Structure 1
Amino acid sequence: MQARESLRRRIVVAFVSFGIVLSLFFAVLAAVAVEGIEVHLVDNRLAEVAKWALPRQAAGLAVDLPSGLRFHRGGAIPLSLRDLPPGVSDVEVDGVGLHVLTGSDAAGPYVVVDHESDYEKIELVVYSLFAAFFIGFLVFAAGLGGFVARRIVNPISELADAVGRGGTPLPGLERKDELGILARALAAHTAELRAFLDRERFFTGDVSHELRSPLTVIMGAAEILMANAASETTRAPAERIYRAAHEAAECVTVLLLLARAPELKRLPLVDIDAIAAREVERYRPLVDAKPVELGYDDGPAFAIQAPAELCAAAIGNLVRNACQYTAQGAVSVALGAGRVVVEDTGPGLPAAVRETLAGHGATAHAIPSRGSAGTGLGLSLVLRICEYLGATLAYEDRPGGGSRFTISFAAAQPAPISRDLNASLTGH
C-alpha cells in the first residue's frame, strides 16, 4: 500500500491538522487577549496619568510622577515627540521604546511618556510560551494520532493477514466494537465460501468418478466392435464412439484435477515442447481433408511443474478449435520464451467473447464455451486451467484475419535435455 493511501497516515494527518487548527484558534484568542491587556495596562494607565497631571499642572502644582513616567506640555515637549497623532503611539527614540499619549486642551498640547514599560518583555514571554505550546501540541497530536492509528490499524492489518493466509480462527472475534463485528462477518463469509467450494469440489469429484466406469465400458465395447467389424460401415461408427468416449474420459480427468487444490510445487516438471508437438500431431487428421496447413514451430524448450493432463488439455483445446473452425489457410503452433502461441486464419471470435478476453478481470465463468466437438471443452475451461496453473490466456486478432491465442506460463523453467513424455503424462 502506498504511503498516501495508508489509513494510519490519514489518522496521523487528521490529528496533526486538528492540532494546527486548534493552535491557530488559540493564537487568535491570545493575540486579542494580549492587545486587550495592552489597552488596559498601558493605554488606560497613560490616560489616568494625564487625567491626574493636567489639573495639577494647570494649578501650578508640581507634577511628580513615578519613575519611568514623564509629563510634558507645550514647548517642553521633546522635538522627537512632537507632531504625533492624538492618542497612544509606540515610538522608538535612541533605541528606547516609548508609549506616548498625545493630546491637547485649552492650555495647549501635552504628552505623557512611559519610558520604562515592561509590557514588551511580557508580550515576548507570552508569545514565546505560545510558540512552545504550539510546537509541543503538534508533537503531542502527532504522537496521539500515531497511538490511535496503531490501535485501529494494527488489528485491521492482523485481520487482513489472517484472511489472506486462510488462518482460523480469525483474530478479533471476541471484540465488542466494530472491528469485532467486521471479524465475525468475515469469518462467517469465509466459512460460507469454503463450504461452497467444498460442495463444488465434492460434486465435481463424485460426478467424474461416476462417469469413469461407464466411459471405460463404452471404450471397451467400441474396441471390441472395431476388432470384430466386418465392414467399414461398422468400423467407422465404432471408431467415432471410441474417440468420443476417449475424449470424454480425458475431460473427466481434467475435471478431477481441477477439483483438487493446486499444489504445483510438489509435481514433477513436464516438457511443454513435447506436449505441444504431441497435440499438433494428434489433431492433424482434422485438417487432412481441408485446404489447411497445420504447422509447428519449435522454440526455446521449457518446462513447468504441473499436471501434464492439464497442459495437454489447454494446448490441445486451442489447437483442436483452430483446426475445426479454419476452413482454409493455415494453423500454426509456436513455442516462445515461456509461452505457447496458437494462430489460425479462421473467422475469429465473436465480438462479445473477444472483448471479454481482452478486458481485465476475465474469469472462466465469463467466457462462453465455443462448443468444441465431443468433449465440451471450451475457452472457459482453458481459462480455468490457466488460472489453476498460474498462467495467463491472451487473445488478439491475427493480422490479415483469424485468431491468435497466447498461453504464458509465469513459472516456466528451462526444459531438461531429455524427458520421457509418457512418464510425464502419467505423473510419475
Structure 2
Amino acid sequence: MKDKQPLMYRRSLRSRVALAFALCVAVLSVVWGFAFVAAVRLSEDRVLSQQLQLAANSYPTMPANLRGYDDIASLPQSLRAWAETNPAEGLYEFEADELHVAVLSADNEKLPAGNAQRPAFVVFDVAGIEAASSEDWWLLLVISGVVGTLGVLGFGLGVIVMRRAVAPVAQLARAVADIDLEHLSAEDYKRIDSSRFGDDEVGVLAAAIEKTLERISAFVERERYFTGSASHELRTPITVITGALELLEQSDLSATDVKALDRVRRATLDMKTTIEMFLCLARETDDGLYDEQFSVLPLVNKAIDQQRYLLNGKCIDVNIDQLANPSISGHPQAFAIAVNNLVRNAFEHTLDGQGPITIRINAHELLVTNQLSHDTDELHPPTGASPHGYGLGLAIVQRLCERNGWSFSMLADEKRVVARLSW
C-alpha cells in the first residue's frame, strides 16, 4: 500500500513544505516575469504604432518631431526662457508643451569644435505620440487589474500547494477527531490506519497514536471485563456472609457471641463499602448514573447510622445543622461513598471528650467539622489546609469528586478539622 503513495507524500513533512513554498515562488516569479515582459513589449509597440500613425496622417510630408538646436534663438518659443538659465546636461520633460529635451553641455566631446562655447539641445516633440491623460488612467486601471488578478491567482496557488503539502496532517487530524475519546471501542484505533501515511513524520505520529489508542482500547476492555466479573465475584461472598449473619441473629447467642457477631457485621459492611468504592472508581462508564438527581439529607443520615458504632464508648455529641435540603446531580453511590468516608474519618479521629461533631448541610456544600477545642464560639471554616494524616479514604473522596464535578477540601488548625464537599 505504501508503494501507491504519491511521490510528494514519500518525503518528510519539512521537505514537502519547503518544496511547496519553492514551487509557489518559482511559479509566481515566472508569471510576473512574463507579465513584465508583456507590459514592456506592449509599451514599445504602442509608441511605435502612435509614431507611425502620426507619420501616416502627415503623408506625404513627414513630421520632423526630433530635431537638434545649436542656438537658443532657434529653439521653440516656449523653451527659450528656460534655455537662458543655462540648464545642466541631462534630460528634461515639459508636459504642457509635450516636449522632451536633452541638453548637451558646452564641453561635450560630441559637439563640433566651433560649438564649444555654448550648449546644444535635442528636442523631441511627442505631441500625438504620448497617450492622453485619460488613456494613462485607463492603462493604470488595466495594469492594476492584471496585478490584482495575478496576486489573487498567486494566493490561490499558494493555498492549493500548501494544502497539498499538509494534506496528510489534516487527514490524520480528521481521523482522530472522528474518535469519541469518552467512549472508546475496541476497533477505534483502526480508524487511524497509519500505513496510509508513509514513513515520514506524519506516519510516525499516526503510528504512535494508533498504538496508543490500541493499548487504551485494550485497557478499557480489560476494565469492563474486570469490573463486570469482580462486581459479581466480590459481592457474592459478602451476600452469603450477610445471610449467614441474619440466620445467626435468630439463634440463642451469649452476650460474648453477640458482640463478636456485631464485629463481623461491621467488618462485612466495611468490606461491602470498600468493594463498592473501588468498583465505582474503576469503572470508565456507568450507564449514565453520573447525571442522576438525588437528595443529600437521606444519604447523610444513612452514613451517620452506619458509622455510629465508632462512637461507642465515647462521650461525643453529633449535631446535624440542616440549613437547606439540596438535591444535586451526579452518581448517588459515589456521593454516598464520599459522605461515608468523611463521617467515618470524623468519628474515628475524634477522641473521647472532644467535640462535638457538627455536620452542616448548606445549599451548595456539606461541612463535617471535628471540634477539637471548646474555645471557639462559632464554627467557621479555618483558613489553613492540611489533608494529610486523616486516612486513605480522603484521596478516594477526592477522586470521586473529580469524576462527578464536585469539589473537596480539608481545612485544619489547632481548634477544628473541617471537611468540605461542595457541588
TM range (shorter): 0.5 to 0.7
Specify the alignment match of 1:86 in structure 2. Answer: 88
1:137 counterpart (143, 146, 150): 150
Deviation, structure 1 residue 239? 1.8
Structure 2 equivalent of residue 420 of structure 1: none
Secondary structure of the 1:283 match is: helix
The one of 119, 123, 129 aligned to 1:113? 123
- Give 1:139's aligned amino acid: V
Identity of aligned residues (%): 24
Q: What is the match of residue 243 of structure 1?
A: 266
Distance 1:202 1:84, change over 3 A: farther
What is the deviation of 1:162?
1.8
Structure 1 CA distance, aligned partners of 2:263 and 2:343? 19
Structure-1 separation of matches of 2:217 and 2:154:
44
Residues 84, 102 of structure 1: 8 Å contact kept: no
CA spacing shift, 1:311–1:154, aligned 2, 3 Å: same
Query: Separation in 2 of the partners of 1:297 and 1:281?
Result: 17
Letter in 1 for 2:72: G
Q: Does 2:287 align with 1:263?
A: yes
Shift of 1:338: 5.4
Instruction: Kindly state the Cα deviation for residue 296 of structure 1 after the two structures are TM-superposed.
Output: 3.5
1:380 and 2:390 equivalent?
A: no
Q: For structure 1, which runs of at least 5 residues remain unmatched after alignment?
A: 1-10, 42-63, 355-367, 373-377, 409-428
- Who is 1:253 aligned against? 276
Question: What is the one-letter code of the residue matched to 2:94?
Answer: E
Distance change in 2, residues 1:96/1:295 (3 Å): farther
| SS of equivalent residue, structure 2 residue 122 | strand
How far did 1:243 drift? 0.5
In structure 1, how many angstroms separate the alpha carbons of the residues matched to 2:385 and 2:323?
Answer: 33
What are the residue-to-residue correspondences of 1:21-420 with 2, within 5 Å? 67-76=64-73, 77=75, 78-83=80-85, 85-93=87-95, 95-96=96-97, 98-105=99-106, 106-116=116-126, 118=130, 131-147=144-160, 148-149=162-163, 151=167, 154-164=170-180, 166=184, 168=188, 169-170=190-191, 173=194, 175-177=196-198, 182-219=205-242, 224=248, 228-232=252-256, 234-260=257-283, 261-264=285-288, 269-286=293-310, 289-291=314-316, 293-304=318-329, 306=331, 308-327=332-351, 328-337=354-363, 339-345=365-371, 370-371=390-391, 378-388=393-403, 390-395=404-409, 397=411, 402-408=417-423
Q: CA deviation at 1:248?
A: 0.6
Using the TM superposition, name which of 155-164 and 186-195 deviates more. Answer: 155-164
**CA distance in 2: counterparts of 1:139 and 1:298, whole angstroms:** 68
Do the aligned partners of 1:341 and 1:406 also contact (CA within 8 Å) in 2?
A: yes
| Alpha-carbon distance in structure 1 between the residues aligned to 2:412 and 2:385 | 17
Shift of 1:313: 0.7
TM-score, normalization by structure 2: 0.61
The SS at the match of 1:108 is coil
- Any idea what SS the aligned residue of 1:315 has? helix
The one-letter code matched in structure 2 to 1:319 is: V
TM-score in terms of structure 1 length: 0.61
Shift of 1:334: 3.8
Using the TM superposition, give the Cα deviation of residue 394 of structure 1 relative to its aligned residue in structure 2, in angstroms.
3.1
Cα distance per residue 1:46-105 (max 9 Å; x no partner) = xxxxxxxxxxxxxxxxxx996432433343252134546533334335x34543322223
Post-superposition Cα deviations, 1:336-364, rounded to whole Å, max 9, x if no partner, equal 44554444456999x9986xxxxxxxxxx
The answer (yes or no) to whether the contact 1:340–1:406 under 8 Å persists in 2 is: yes
- Partner AA of 2:118 in structure 1: G
Contact 1:208/1:255 (<8 A) preserved: no
CA–CA separation in structure 1 for the residues paired with 2:292 and 2:421: 24
1:28-52 per-position Cα deviation (integer Å, ceiling 9, x unaligned):
x969x98xx99xx9xxxxxxxxxxx
Bigger radius of gyration? 2
CA distance in structure 2 between the aligned counterparts of 1:396 and 1:96, rounded to whole angstroms = 95
Structure 2 runs not aligned, ≥5 long: 1-16, 48-60, 107-115, 374-380
The aligned amino acid for 1:197 is V
1:281 CA drift (Å): 4.1
Distance 1:346 1:130 in 2: 89
Q: Is this contact kept in 1: 2:316–2:357, CA < 8 A?
A: no
**Paired position in structure 2 for 1:6:** none
SS at match of 2:324: coil
Tell me the amino acid that sits aligned with residue 301 of structure 1.
P
For 2:295 and 2:131, locate their aligned partners in 1 and report how far apart those are by CA, in whole Å.
91
Counterpart AA for 2:327: F
Please provide the CA RMSD for this pair: 4.8
Q: Distance in 2 between matches of 1:125 and 1:195?
A: 71
Shift of 1:213: 4.2
Q: CA deviation at 1:196?
A: 1.9
Question: How far did 1:108 drift?
Answer: 0.4
In structure 2, distance between residues paired with 1:385 and 1:337: 20
Q: CA deviation at 1:397?
A: 3.3
